[in-house]
């Protein structure tokens, strides 16, 4: 659930951003040092930088697209080449931008300077050999993840299992031994990344420090229109708002899983072992719904069964999602979207199946990359990914540096806001259900949603908490894995199901770590999506339970979202939030409002239980 879009803050990978510039740009940036040449003004510099960025964006994006949809030695080498070239030019841009005093410039120019200096996901040292090394490492780690398999009997044997094979076990099995085997199996792909990642940290920190940041983590945190330390405090404030609800959910789920698997597998007073939560990373728990659901709380329909019984195809599911956006008054997707996207997993090659949305030309060439299954989860995911695509189309008329969301959490939030409107009423409106289930089923629907959304919140925090500490040196290389599990227990109340040592590198088994994708955006997205949903529902006059509200077909909601999207990155994020919601502050209490009936039920269930974990 990612996107690849803007010039400098591609959320998919640094090679997919527009950091692909010709050698001439370096010469331009050095004009000030040439005898007889006048230094460009900040406005001239940023204008020339944008012109070059937009001119050379497409080739690098295409190389990254092919590398993700056709993984082999050639495509990996080409992606690495473009990555090295792009990083070289990005260093030039960032270092030159840092020589201007942004505070003395007009707002728009100052914003562009700050984006050029600090808008990178990855900064590289000003050394060609190190840039090449960093590009090779980044490409190698992602390729290792994308082609990773667990092969207990050696490579190229019939016993090899891909991530999809192993996820099928984790998602569906109730056998604790089979779950543990699949969980450990996937984590065999990541130890070879460990040395690469350590060097990756060293090189990326060197690049960030050359730009005036303390480390790469501080560079990431500088992108939110507030000082890095203030942003960390803001994240803590939002987490504190929702932590009581999460703690109640964890307590109930742990008790039910302990009853099912036995106290020898799930300690009723300790962290929940990660392999029994129905997700390879224990970031979403919806696959154990049947074990923890309220009694007699069936949702009243089986969307997966409906889609399959009606013979819905992958493309038809995408067409349905497009119809949601056009019902809000938005345009249809370009014809090229349908001919260039990847909807189905190819059988003849390795691809990265992780769902993502791309804007390859910073204009109308928007695409999604998925390996769609005909099920309810992917039906919702498609709505999410098209949220990225429509956001990309919404800001395409902005100047190049502003073609991105207000902050990276907004891009994820928009897609999920739409997914929150995939309600029974919406399914009735598009003909997938004959009638809405009784409100008696809402408690089950809320539990299923909480197992996805509320369960994710601490996971959305800890990925970057770990990386911030690694980048800063607070966590040294000899403690990578131990620190990872300390944070998982601290935030999630989730523990390792078997002994883990520093011979392992469990963070590398999560795509976003080898893929160098900042993760706090997903935490922010989970906060913002409920805030957007609540406030849009209020704006259109809806008065019922929040979980039953859908903005499908409402052009006022579409107008507000379109106004927010059209701003792109041209204004600080509070301006964009205000356009859609009327508020300038992120507010996690919308999550509490949405799940209020479930929260009351959880407290009743947890009476007499020892909640919390040691």
Say which of 56, 150, 252, 354 is annotated catalytic.
Answer: 354
Region of 612 please: left (phi>0), alpha (psi -120 to 50) or beta. Answer: left
Distance of alpha carbon 38 from alpha carbon 32, whole angstroms? 6
Question: Which residues lie below 8 Å from residue 59, measured CB to CB, with a gap of 6+?
Answer: 20, 82
pLDDT value of position 412: 87
* Catalytic site includes residue 411: no
Query: What are the Cα distances from residue 504, in Å, to 234, 297, 356, 501?
Result: 33, 41, 28, 6
- Give the CA angle between residues 586, 592, 597 to the nearest 5°: 160
Say which of 138, 385, 411, 579 is annotated catalytic.
Answer: 385
Say which of 57, 491, 519, 522 is annotated catalytic.
Answer: 522
* Catalytic site includes residue 56: no
* Catalytic site includes residue 388: yes
**DSSP string covering 477-515, please?**
GGGHHHHHHHHIIIII-EE-SS---TT--GGGGSTTTTT
pLDDT value of position 145: 92
pLDDT value of position 3: 52
Query: What are the Cα distances from residue 260, in Å, to 263, 268, 335?
Result: 9, 11, 50
Contacts for 206-211 with beta carbons within 8 Å, 24 or more apart?
206/124, 206/125, 206/130, 207/91, 207/122, 207/123, 207/124, 207/125, 207/126, 207/134, 208/123, 208/471, 210/91, 210/95, 210/123, 210/125, 210/126, 211/94, 211/95, 211/98, 211/117, 211/118, 211/123
Say which of 56, 384, 504, 526 is annotated catalytic.
Answer: 384
Say which of 79, 97, 355, 590 is annotated catalytic.
Answer: 355
* Catalytic site includes residue 383: no
pLDDT value of position 87: 67
pLDDT value of position 374: 96
Which of the residues in the chain have pLDDT under 70?
1-37, 87, 298-299
The overall longest dimension of the chain from CA atoms, in Å, is: 81
The answer to whether residues 517 and 2 touch, using CB atoms and an 8 Å cutoff, is yes
Say which of 56, 388, 504, 526 is annotated catalytic.
Answer: 388
Structure tokens at 245: 């609800």
DSSP 209: H
CA dihedral of residues 508, 511, 514, 516 (deg, nearest 10): -130
* Catalytic site includes residue 354: yes
Distance of alpha carbon 268 from alpha carbon 259, whole angstroms? 9
pTM greater than 0.95 = no
């Amino acid at each position: 659930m990612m996107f690849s879009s803007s010039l400098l803050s591609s959320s998919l990978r640094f090679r997919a951003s527009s950091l692909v510039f010709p050698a001439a740009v370096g010469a331009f940036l050095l004009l000030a040092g040439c005898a007889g040449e006048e230094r460009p003004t900040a406005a001239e510099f940023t204008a020339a930088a944008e012109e070059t960025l937009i001119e050379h964006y497409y080739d690098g994006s295409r190389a990254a697209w092919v590398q993700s949809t056709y993984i082999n030695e050639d495509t990996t080498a080409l992606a690495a080449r473009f990555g090295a070239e792009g990083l070289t030019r990005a260093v030039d841009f960032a270092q030159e931008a840092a020589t201007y005093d942004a505070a003395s410039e007009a707002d728009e120019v100052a914003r562009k300077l700050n984006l050029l200096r600090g808008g990178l996901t990855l900064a590289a040292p000003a050394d060609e050999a190190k840039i090449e090394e960093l590009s090779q490492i980044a490409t190698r780690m992602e390729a290792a993840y994308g082609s990773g398999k667990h092969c207990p009997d050696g490579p190229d044997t019939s016993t090899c299992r891909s991530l999809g094979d192993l996820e099928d076990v984790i998602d569906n099995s109730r056998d604790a031994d089979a779950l543990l085997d699949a969980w450990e199996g996937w984590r065999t792909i990541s130890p070879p990344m460990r040395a690469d990642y350590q060097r990756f940290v060293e090189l990326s920190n060197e690049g960030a420090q050359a730009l005036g940041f303390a480390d790469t983590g501080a560079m990431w945190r500088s992108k939110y229109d507030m000082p890095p330390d203030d942003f960390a405090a803001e994240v803590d404030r939002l987490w504190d708002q929702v932590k009581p609800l999460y703690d109640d959910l964890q307590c109930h789920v742990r008790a039910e899983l302990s009853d099912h698997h036995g106290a020898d597998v799930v300690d009723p007073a300790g962290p929940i072992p990660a392999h029994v939560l129905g997700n390879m990373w224990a970031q979403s728990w919806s696959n154990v719904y049947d074990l923890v659901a309220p009694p007699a709380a069936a949702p009243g329909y089986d969307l997966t069964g409906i889609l399959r019984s009606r013979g819905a195809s992958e493309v038809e599911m995408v067409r349905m999602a497009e119809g949601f956006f056009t019902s809000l008054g938005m345009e249809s997707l370009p014809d090229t979207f349908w001919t260039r996207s990847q909807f189905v997993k190819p059988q003849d090659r390795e691809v990265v199946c992780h769902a993502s949305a791309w804007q390859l030309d910073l204009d109308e060439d928007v695409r999604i990359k998925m390996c769609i299954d005909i099920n309810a989860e992917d039906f919702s995911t498609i709505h999410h990914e098209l949220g990225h695509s429509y956001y990309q189309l919404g800001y395409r008329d902005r100047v190049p540096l502003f073609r991105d969301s207000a902050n990276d959490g907004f891009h994820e939030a928009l897609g999920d806001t739409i997914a929150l409107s995939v309600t029974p009423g919406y399914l009735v409106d598009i003909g997938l259900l004959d009638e809405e289930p009784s409100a008696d089923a809402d408690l089950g629907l809320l539990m299923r949603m909480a197992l996805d959304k509320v369960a994710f919140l601490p996971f959305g925090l800890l990925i970057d908490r770990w990386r911030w500490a690694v980048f800063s040196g607070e966590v040294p290389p000899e403690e990578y894995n131990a620190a990872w599990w300390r944070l998982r227990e601290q935030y999630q109340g989730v523990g390792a199901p078997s002994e883990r040592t520093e011979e392992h590198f469990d963070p590398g088994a999560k795509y976003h770590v080898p893929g160098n994708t900042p993760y706090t955006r997903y935490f922010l997205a989970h906060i913002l999506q409920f805030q957007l949903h609540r406030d849009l529902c209020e704006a259109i006059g809806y008065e019922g339970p929040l979980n039953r509200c859908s903005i499908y077909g409402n052009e006022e909601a579409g107008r507000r979202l379109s106004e927010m999207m059209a701003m792109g990155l041209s204004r600080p994020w509070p301006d964009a939030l205000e356009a859609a919601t009327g508020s300038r502050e992120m507010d996690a209490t919308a999550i509490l409002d949405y799940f209020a009936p479930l929260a009351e039920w959880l407290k009743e269930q947890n009476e007499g239980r020892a909640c919390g974990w040691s």
